[in-house]
C-alpha cells in the first residue's frame, strides 16, 4: 500500500519523475544523500538504477515508547522536499505518524505489507519496549509491544533500531526504569539489529543505512553494539571542531563566561564528547550549520551512549578513554626524582650517630688504656719504694 | 725463602700447562660473538630527520596502541597523554628544544637507539636484553631478574623500569618486532608519520640517505654529519638535525662502544679463564707448603704447647 | 699492654642483652619492611628512579659493605700466603665477619632485584652472558658464599657438634674436619681466587657507565683500586671488631696482632694511594680535585679520610695506643667505604636531570640488614668459640684441638 505523499516541488522538465520531481533534481538529491553518508558517486548511480528498476524496498516503521523525535528529525531533511523524494526510494508501507489510515484499516495495512514483502522488508523501530509484567505498559490494538515486535520482526529482511530508545532503552529506561524499558536488540537476541542511537538520531544515518541496503543489498559494517561504523566509529572528541582548544587547555569554565563566548572547549562544563560515539560533529541537524549541541555552545550529554545519557550527571567531567598529547611539548630534559625531607633527616641522624659512636669508642679505648697505664705506673712506683 | 720461590715457579708452570690444555677448544672471550657486537648486513633501524618533524606527535598514540601501553597522563588529571620523559608507559616521546634566546628550535623524537654493540646487552647478566634478528635490541621477560644494570649502562638512558609493579618489566622501544613481519610491515611510528620525518629501513640504506641529504644541503645539517653513525660504536637509529645534537639530549660519545671498552679491561685481566686458573694453581702450591708445616707443629700430633711461643717463633 | 691472644673462646655473657635486643629489633623491622617491599613494588618503598636505579641496597650494602666483609679474605692472605702465623687466633673472627658481611649483602641484593623469581636461571649456563661484569659478580659471589665462606666458618660449628656428647655427631664432625684438613690448600686457594675476582669486578661494574662517572673516579684501574680497597676495608673491619670486642668483653689487648694488622693495612693503603694518584696524574684530571665543586669536595673528604690516618698509622706509638689505633682505623674505614660508594652514586650523573636520596624505608631496610649482621655476630660469639682472648679471660669454652688448626 502506498502512502500518500503531497509533492511540493513539481518542476516541469522534459522528464518528470514520480510525484512530479524531475530527474535532474532527483539525481542531485540522491547524490547529496549519498555524499552526506559517505557513499561514493558510484553508489549514487547504483541507487538510481535500483530505483528505476522499480526495486523499492518496503519499509515498515513501528513506534513504541518514544517521543516521535526521530521521525520528526527525519522530516527535517527538507532540502529539497527530500522526504517526498525518498519515499520514492523506499516504499513506506506502515508509519503511524505519517500514514493517513487509522484503526482497523491501519492494522490491515500492516498485515498486508508483512505478508506481501515477507523476508524482504526493512523493519524500522522507533522507541523502547517495556518488558515489566509481560509488557502491559504499552499496548497497541490490544497487543503488547513485545508481541508486536516479535511478530513483525519474524518476517523482516533487515531490522533497524532508530534512536537511543530503540537502541538501548533511551529516556524511558532512565533510573528507576519503572516499566522495564529496553532496546529491541535485547529482545531479538538471534537477529542482527542495526542500532542507530541518538536523541534524536541523525536522520542521514538512517538514510545512509537504508540507501546502502537499496544499492548493495547489504547492511553497512557494524560495531559490536550493532552501530554502523561509518557514523559511530569515532567519539565526538576525536572529530570536534573545538578540539584544538582542548589540546591547548582553553576551556569555558562557566556558561556565559569569556571562554564560553569565545567558543572554547566545553570539557569542564561536563561535555561527554570523549565518551560518546556519534557523528554529530560532522553531520549537523536540521540542515543548519552548527545545529548540534556543541556548535550551539552546550556540552554534549552523550545521547547515543547507554551508560552516559540520562545516567551520568550533566556537569560531571567525562573520562578520556584514549588520551593524546596536548598542544604543549615535553622539554629536552625534565627534572625527575623526589627527595624526602624525612629521609634526609634520618640519614643525617644516622651519619651523625656513626661518627659520634666512633668518636666515643675511641675515647673509651684511650681512657681504658690510660687507666691501665696509671695502674702500671702505680704498681711500679710502689714496688720501687720498697 | 728459596724453597718457596721454587715452589711458586713450579706451581706457575704447572698451572699454565693445565690452563693451556683447558683452553684449547674453549672459546676465548676475545673471540667476538659477531652477531652481538658487529653490524649485521641486514640490520634495520630508524632515521629521524628533525628538520622534517612538525611535532604532530601522531607517533606517540600510535606507539601506545601498537604496544598496548596505557597512556601516561602525567600531571594532567587524566586529560592528556603527557609524559615528560620516557618511562614504563612511554616508549616513544616527542620533545621540543627551544634555544634560551629563542633563535632556534627543533623537535626531537626519543626512543631506543638500537646500538650496534649495545652497553645494555653487554651488561645484562642473563641475556634478557639481547640482539634479535636484524640487530633489534629486544627484552625477554623470562630471563630478566630486574637488576637494572641496563639502566646504569645505557649511554642514552633509554631502558625504563616499572617501579610501581610487583611484576616489573623493562620497557623500551623494540622497533615493533612483535608485529613487524606479521601484521605490519613497519613500526607504528613510521607508519603514521605524516611528513616521513622518521623512516624505517636497512641501516645501510638509511645511512646512505642521510649522507645524500647532507650532501644535497651542505652546511644545513649540524656539522654536516648524522648522529649515530659512529657514536658509541654506531647505532641503528640515526638522527639528523640542524641544531647541536647535545641540545636535543643526545650525548657526545666517542667511537668506541662502552661494551667494547669493558671487554678490553676484562680480557686484559682474565684472558679467557687463564688468569684465575693460573693464580689458583699458584696459591695451592704456596699454601701446601705452609699447611704441611702448620700440621706438623700443631696438627693431630700436636700436644698442649702454648700457641703463643710457637707462633712467635 | 702485654696480653697475648692465645686461644679462641666462647664468651660467658648472657645472650639477651640490651644491645642485642636493639640490633635484633632493628633487623626485624628491616625484614618486615622488606616483606612490604615484596608485596608492593620497589617504587613504593624506595627513592629509586630511572636515572639512579641503583641505590642504597646495591651500592651500599653490596658494593661498600661486602668490602668490609672481606676480612676473612684479606687476613687469610696475610696469614697463609705471607705466612704470618701470628694471625691464626683471629682467623675465626675474620671469617665470621666475612660470612655476615656477605650474607647480609646478598640478602639486600635479593630484596633489591625486581624479578627475583628468575634468579633460578643463574644456575643454567646456557643463559649466562659471560661478557657481563654483573654476571661475574653474581656467579662468583654465590660460589664464594656457598663453596668457601660457609666451609671456612664450619670449624666452630663442628667443634660444637663434637662437644655435644652424641657419639654419632662426634664421628660426623671428625669426618668432615678430616676432609677439610686434607683439602685445605685447595679450599683456601678458592677463598682467595673467588673474592679477588668479584671484589675487583664490583669496581668494573661502573666502568660500563663511561663518562657518566666523574673523571676523578672513572678509570680502567677501577678493578685494581676496588680490590686493594677490599683488603684495606677487610683489615679495618677485623681491627675494629676486635678492638670493640676486646674492650666490651675484656679479652685483653694483643698489641702485637693489632699493631701488625694496622701496619699491614696502612702499607696497603699507601699502595692504594700511590696507584690512585698516579692514575689521576696520568689521566691528567688531578686538577679537578681543586675546583671545589661538589665532586671535588667528595674527593678531598675521601682522600683526607684515607691519607691522614694512613700516615699516622705508620708510627709505632700511634699503633700501640688503643685509642689512636681505633680512631685512625675508623677513619680509614669511613674513607674507604666512601671510596667504594662514590663512583656508584655520588659521582654518578645519569643523562637527564635526576636527583636521588634514599627514602626513609630504604634507609631503615639498609640499616636493618647491617643490624642483622651485628645481632648474628653477638649471637655467634656467645654460642661458639670465635673471639681470641688472653689466658686471663674466663670463658665458657675454649676452642678445641684439632678444630682450631684451620
Cis peptide before A200 (omega within 30 of 0): yes
Q: Check C114 against B149: CB less than 8 A apart.
A: no
Do B205 and B273 sit in the same domain of this protein? no
Is residue B175 in a domain?
yes
Residues 6+ apart with CB under 8 A from A201: A70, A73, A162, A163, A164
Q: Using CB atoms, pick whichever of C134, C188, C351 lies closest to residue B251.
A: C351
Cα separations (Å) of C26 from C22, C33, C241, C313? 6, 11, 20, 34
User: Would you call A133 exposed, middle or buried from its count of C-beta atoms within 10 A (0-12, 13-18, 19+)?
Assistant: exposed
Residues of C with Cβ-Cβ distance to B36 under 8 angstroms:
131
pLDDT of the residue at C135: 94
At A31, is the secondary structure helix, strand, or coil? helix
Q: Is position B304 within any domain?
A: no
Asked if B165 and B147 sit in the same domain, the reply is yes
Q: Output the pLDDT for position C330.
A: 96
- In tens, the pLDDT along A289-319 reads 899 999 999 999 999 999 999 999 999 999 8
Question: Where do the structural domains in chain C lie, given as residue ranges?
Answer: 9-398
B60/A319 CB distance under 8 A: no
Q: What are the tens digits of pLDDT across the range B52-70?
A: 999 999 999 999 999 999 9
Domain-located, residue B82:
yes
B82 or A288, higher pLDDT = B82
Let me know if residue B281 belongs to a domain. Answer: yes
Residues B126 and B26 in one domain: no
Rounded to whole angstroms, the Cα distance separating A6 from A75 reads: 13
pLDDT at position B212 over 90:
yes
Q: What is the tens place of the pLDDT at every residue in C96-120? A: 999 999 999 999 999 999 999 999 9
Is the pLDDT reported for residue B22 higher than 60?
no
| CB-based burial label for B25 (10 Å; 0-12, 13-18, 19+) | exposed
Contacts of B57 in chain A (CB under 8 A): 324-325
Q: What is the mean pLDDT of chain B?
A: 86
Residues C119 and B145 sit within 8 Å (Cβ to Cβ): yes
Residue A120, pLDDT > 90, answer: no
Residue A104 confidence (pLDDT) above 80? yes
Best CA proximity match to C15, nearest among C337, C347, C404, C378: C378
Task: Report the pLDDT value the prediction gives residue C209, as an integer from 0 to 100.
Answer: 95
Which one of B50, B74, B79, B243 would you mutate to disrupt binding with A, by most A Cβ within 10 Å of its Cβ?
Answer: B79
For residue B37, pLDDT beyond 80: yes
Same domain, B168 and B272: no
Contact A285, A73 (CB under 8 A): yes
Band (pLDDT 50/70/90 cuts) for residue B298 is low
Tens digits of residue pLDDT in C352-383: 999 999 999 999 999 999 999 999 999 999 99
Q: In the beta sheet, which residues pair with residue A159?
A: A123, A193
pLDDT of residue A284 exceeding 60, the answer is yes
pTM above 0.90, yes or no: no
Q: What is the mean pLDDT of residues C273-286?
A: 96
User: What is the predicted pLDDT for the residue at B10?
Assistant: 52
Distance from CA of A335 to the nearest CA of B (A): 9
- Alpha-carbon span C297 to C339, nearest angstrom: 13
Instruction: For residue A71, count other CB atoms closer than 10 A to its CB.
Output: 23
CB contact under 8 A, C247 and A337: no
Cis peptide bond prior to A190, omega within 30° of 0: no
Residue B258 lies in a domain: no
Residue ranges in C147-217 assigned as alpha helix (H)? 150-152, 154-163, 167-204
Which chain A residue lies closest to C253 (C-alpha atoms)? A369
Q: Hey, which residues does A60 pair with through a beta bridge?
A: A94, A123
- Give yes or no: residues B275 and B141 share one domain: no
Would you say residue C49 has pLDDT above 70? yes
CATH number for position B177 = 3.30.70.20
Q: How many domains does chain B have?
A: 2
Say if residue A176 is preceded by a cis peptide, omega within 30 of 0: yes
CB C295 within 8 A of CB C214: yes
Arithmetic mean of pLDDT, A7-35:
57
Nearest to B80 among A319, A324, A334 (CB): A324
Q: Is C361 on the interface with B (CB under 8 A)?
A: no
Chain B's closest residue to C112, CA to CA, is B147
Q: Do C118 and B126 touch (CB under 8 A)?
A: yes
Query: Residue B152 has what pLDDT?
Result: 96
pLDDT of residue A13: 37
Is B312 among the domain residues? no
- Cβ separation of C323 and A342 shorter than 8 Å? no
**How far are the Cα atoms of B176, B251, C76, C142, C225 from residue C198, in angstroms, in the given order?**
38, 31, 17, 10, 13
Q: Is pLDDT above 60 for A1?
A: no
Mean pLDDT of B94-122: 95
C7 touches chain B (CB under 8 A): yes
Same domain as B26, residue B53: no
Rounded Cα distance, C406 and C391, in Å: 21
> Are B212 and B120 members of one domain?
yes
Residue to mutate among C3, C77, C134, C201, with most B CBs inside 10 A, is C134
B29-43, C18-32, C100-114: segment of lowest average pLDDT: B29-43
Task: Provide, as residue numbers in chain A, all residues whose Cβ is less than 8 Å from the Cβ of C247.
Answer: 361, 364-365, 368
Provide the pairing of β-strand B137-139 with B129-131: antiparallel
Indicate if the pLDDT at residue A79 is higher than 60. Answer: no
- Domain range for B156 is 40-252
Task: Please list every residue in chain C whose beta carbon sits closer than 8 Å to the beta carbon of residue B307.
Answer: 6-7, 88-89
CB contact under 8 A, B96 and A336: no
Mean pLDDT computed over C259-274: 96
Helix (H) or strand (E) holding B49: strand B44-49
In a domain, B98, yes or no: yes
User: Per mean pLDDT, which of B19-33, C37-51, C214-228 is the most reliable?
Assistant: C214-228
Q: H or E element: which one contains A326? A: none
pLDDT band at A386 (very low <50, low <70, confident <90, very high): very low
- Does residue B14 carry a pLDDT above 80? no
| pLDDT for the residue A38 | 59
Average pLDDT along chain C? 93
- Are B61 and B207 within one domain? yes
Per-residue confidence at A28, pLDDT binned at 50, 70, 90? Answer: confident
In sign, the C-alpha dihedral spanning A234, A237, A241, A247 is negative
Q: Is the predicted pLDDT of residue B42 greater than 80, yes or no?
A: yes
Domain boundary among B197, B217, B252: B252
State whether C116 and B146 contact (CB < 8 Å): yes
CA distance A273 to chain B (A): 13
Q: Using DSSP, state whether B204 is helix, strand or coil.
A: helix
Tell me, yes or no, whether B27 and B108 share the same domain: no
What number is the ipTM of this complex?
0.92
- If asked whether residues B211 and B133 sit together in one domain, one would say yes
Amino acid at each position: 500500500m502506498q502512502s500518500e505523499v503531497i509533492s511540493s516541488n513539481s518542476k516541469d522538465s522534459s522528464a518528470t519523475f514520480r510525484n512530479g520531481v524531475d530527474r535532474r533534481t532527483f539525481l542531485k538529491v540522491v547524490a547529496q544523500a549519498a555524499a552526506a553518508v559517505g557513499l561514493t558517486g558510484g553508489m549514487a548511480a547504483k541507487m538510481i538504477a535500483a530505483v528505476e528498476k522499480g526495486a523499492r524496498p518496503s519499509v515498515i516503521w513501528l513506534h513504541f515508547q518514544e517521543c516521535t523525535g526521530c521521525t520528526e528529525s527525519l522530516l527535517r531533511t527538507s532540502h529539497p522536499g527530500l522526504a517526498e523524494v525518498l519515499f520514492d526510494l523506499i516504499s513506506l508501507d506502515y508509519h503511524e505518524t505519517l500514514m493517513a489510515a487509522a484503526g482497523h484499516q491501519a492494522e490491515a495495512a500492516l498485515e498486508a505489507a508483512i505478508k506481501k514483502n515477507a523476508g524482504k522488508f526493512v523493519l524500522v523501530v522507533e522507541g523502547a519496549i517495556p518488558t515489566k509484567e509481560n509488557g502491559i505498559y504499552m499496548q497497541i490494538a490490544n497487543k503488547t509491544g513485545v508481541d508486536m515486535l516479535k511478530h513483525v520482526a519474524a518476517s523482516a529482511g533487515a531490522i533497524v533500531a532508530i534512536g537511543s530508545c530503540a537502541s538501548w532503552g533511551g529516556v524511558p529506561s532512565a533510573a528507576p526504569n519503572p516499566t522495564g524499558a529496553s532496546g529491541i536488540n535485547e529482545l531479538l537476541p538471534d537477529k542482527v539489529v542495526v542500532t542507530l542511537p541518538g536523541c534524536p538520531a541523525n536522520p542521514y544515518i538512517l538514510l545512509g543505512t537504508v540507501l546502502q541496503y537499496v544499492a548493495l543489498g547489504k547492511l553497512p559494517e557494524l560495531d559490536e553494539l550493532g552501530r554502523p561504523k561509518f557514523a559511530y566509529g569515532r567519539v565526538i572528541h576525536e572529530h570536534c571542531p573545538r578540539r584544538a582548544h582542548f589540546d591547548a587547555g582553553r576551556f569555558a569554565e562557566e556558561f556565559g563566561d569569556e571562554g564560553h563566548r569565545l567558543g572554547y572547549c566545553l570539557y569542564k562544563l561536563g561535555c561527554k564528547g570523549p565518551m560518546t560515539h556519534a557523528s554529530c560533529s560532522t553531520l549537523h541537524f536540521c540542515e543548519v550549520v552548527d545545529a548540534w549541541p556543541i556548535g550551539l555552545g552546550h556540552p554534549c550529554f552523550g545521547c547515543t551512549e547507554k551508560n552516559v545519557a540520562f545516567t551520568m550527571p550533566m556537569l560531571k567531567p567525562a573520562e578520556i578513554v584514549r588520551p593524546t598529547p596536548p598542544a604543549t611539548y615535553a622539554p629536552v630534559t625534565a627534572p625527575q626524582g623526589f627527595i624526602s625531607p624525612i629521609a634526609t633527616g634520618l640519614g643525617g641522624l644516622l651519619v651523625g650517630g656513626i661518627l659520634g659512636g666512633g668518636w666515643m669508642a675511641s675515647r673509651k679505648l684511650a681512657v681504658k688504656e690510660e687507666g691501665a697505664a696509671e695502674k702500671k705506673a702505680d704498681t711500679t712506683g710502689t714496688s720501687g719504694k720498697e | 725463602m728459596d724453597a718457596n720461590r721454587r715452589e711458586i715457579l713450579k706451581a706457575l708452570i704447572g698451572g699454565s700447562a693445565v690452563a693451556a690444555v683447558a683452553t684449547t677448544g674453549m672459546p676465548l672471550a676475545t673471540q667476538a660473538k659477531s652477531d652481538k657486537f658487529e653490524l649485521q648486513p641486514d640490520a634495520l633501524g630508524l632515521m629521524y630527520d628533525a628538520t622534517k618533524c612538525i611535532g604532530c606527535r601522531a607517533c606517540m598514540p600510535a606507539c601506545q596502541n601498537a604496544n598496548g601501553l596505557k597512556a601516561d597522563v602525567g600531571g594532567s588529571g587524566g586529560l592528556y597523554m603527557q609524559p615528560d620523559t620516557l618511562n614504563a608507559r612511554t616508549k616513544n616521546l616527542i620533545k621540543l628544544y627551544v634555544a634560551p634566546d629563542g633563535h632556534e628550535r627543533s623537535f626531537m623524537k626519543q626512543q631506543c637507539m638500537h646500538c650496534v654493540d649495545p652497553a645494555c646487552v653487554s651488561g645484562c647478566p642473563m641475556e634478557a636484553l639481547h640482539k634479535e634478528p636484524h640487530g633489534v635490541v629486544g627484552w625477554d621477560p623470562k630471563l630478566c631478574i630486574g637488576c637494572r644494570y641496563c639502566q646504569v649502562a645505557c649511554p642514552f638512558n633509554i631502558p625504563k623500569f616499572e617501579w610501581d609493579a610487583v611484576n616489573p618489566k623493562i620497557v623500551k622501544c623494540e622497533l615493533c618486532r612483535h608485529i613487524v613481519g606479521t601484521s605490519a610491515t613497519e613500526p607504528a611510528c613510521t607508519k603514521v608519520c605524516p611528513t616521513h620525518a622518521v623512516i624505517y629501513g636497512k641501516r645501510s640504506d638509511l645511512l646512505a640517505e642521510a649522507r645524500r641529504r647532507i650532501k644535497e644541503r651542505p652546511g644545513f645539517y649540524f656539522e654536516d654529519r648524522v648522529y649515530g653513525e659512529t657514536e658509541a660504536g654506531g647505532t641503528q637509529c640515526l638522527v639528523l638535525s640542524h641544531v647541536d645534537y647535545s641540545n636535543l639530549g643526545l650525548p657526545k660519545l666517542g667511537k668506541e662502544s662502552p661494551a667494547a671498552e669493558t671487554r678490553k679491561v676484562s680480557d686484559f685481566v682474565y684472558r679467557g679463564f687463564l688468569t684465575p686458573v693460573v693464580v689458583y694453581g699458584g696459591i695451592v702450591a704456596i699454601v701446601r707448603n705452609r699447611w704441611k708445616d702448620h700440621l706438623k707443629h700443631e696438627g693431630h700430633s700436636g700436644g698442649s704447647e702454648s700457641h703463643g711461643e710457637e707462633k712467635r717463633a | 699492654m702485654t696480653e697475648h691472644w692465645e686461644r679462641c673462646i666462647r664468651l660467658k655473657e648472657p645472650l639477651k642483652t640490651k644491645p642485642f635486643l636493639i640490633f635484633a629489633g632493628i633487623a626485624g623491622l628491616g625484614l618486615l619492611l622488606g616483606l612490604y617491599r615484596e608485596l608492593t613494588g620497589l617504587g613504593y618503598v624506595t627513592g629509586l628512579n630511572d636515572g639512579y636505579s641503583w641505590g642504597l641496597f646495591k651500592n651500599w650494602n653490596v658494593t661498600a659493605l661486602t668490602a668490609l666483609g672481606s676480612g676473612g679474605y684479606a687476613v687469610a692472605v696475610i696469614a697463609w700466603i705471607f705466612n704470618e702465623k701470628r694471625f691464626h687466633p683471629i682467623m675465626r673472627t675474620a671469617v665470621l665477619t666475612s660470612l655476615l658481611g656477605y650474607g647480609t649483602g646478598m640478602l639486600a641484593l635479593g630484596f633489591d632485584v625486581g624479578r627475583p623469581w628468575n634468579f633460578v636461571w643463574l644456575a643454567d649456563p646456557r643463559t649466562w652472558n659471560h661478557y657481563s661484569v654483573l654476571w661475574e659478580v653474581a656467579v662468583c659471589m654465590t660460589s664464594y658464599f656457598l663453596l668457601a665462606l660457609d666451609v671456612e666458618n664450619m670449624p666452630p660449628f663442628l667443634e660444637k657438634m663434637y662437644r655435644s656428647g652424641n657419639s654419632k655427631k662426634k664421628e660426623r664432625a671428625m669426618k668432615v674436619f678430616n676432609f677439610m684438613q686434607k683439602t685445605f690448600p685447595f679450599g683456601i686457594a678458592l677463598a682467595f681466587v673467588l673474592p679477588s675476582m668479584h671484589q675487583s669486578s664490583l669496581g668494573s661494574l661502573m666502568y660500563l657507565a663511561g663518562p657518566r662517572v666523574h673523571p676523578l673516579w672513572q678509570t680502567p684501574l677501577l678493578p685494581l683500586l676496588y680490590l686493594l680497597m677490599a683488603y684495606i676495608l677487610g683489615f679495618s673491619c677485623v681491627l675494629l671488631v676486635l678492638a670493640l670486642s676486646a674492650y666490651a668483653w675484656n679479652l685483653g689487648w694483643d698489641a702485637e696482632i693489632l699493631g701488625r694488622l694496622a701496619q699491614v693495612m696502612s702499607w696497603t693503603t699507601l699502595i692504594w694511594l700511590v696507584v690512585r694518584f698516579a692514575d689521576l696524574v696520568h689521566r691528567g684530571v688531578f686538577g679537578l680535585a681543586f675546583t671545589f665543586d661538589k665532586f671535588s669536595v667528595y674527593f678531598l673528604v675521601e682522600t683526607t679520610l684515607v691519607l691522614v690516618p694512613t700516615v699516622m698509622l705508620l708510627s709505632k706509638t700511634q699503633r700501640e695506643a688503643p685509642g689512636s689505633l681505633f680512631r685512625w682505623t675508623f677513619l680509614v674505614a669511613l674513607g674507604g667505604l666512601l671510596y667504594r660508594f662514590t663512583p656508584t652514586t655520588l659521582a654518578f650523573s645519569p643523562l637527564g636531570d635526576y636527583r636521588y636520596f634514599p627514602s626513609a624505608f630504604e634507609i631503615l631496610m639498609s640499616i636493618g640488614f647491617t643490624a642483622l649482621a651485628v645481632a648474628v655476630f653477638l649471637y655467634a660469639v656467645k654460642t661458639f668459640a670465635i673471639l681470641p682472648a688472653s689466658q686471663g679471660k674466663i670463658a665458657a669454652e675454649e676452642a678445641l684441638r684439632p678444630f682450631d688448626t684451620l
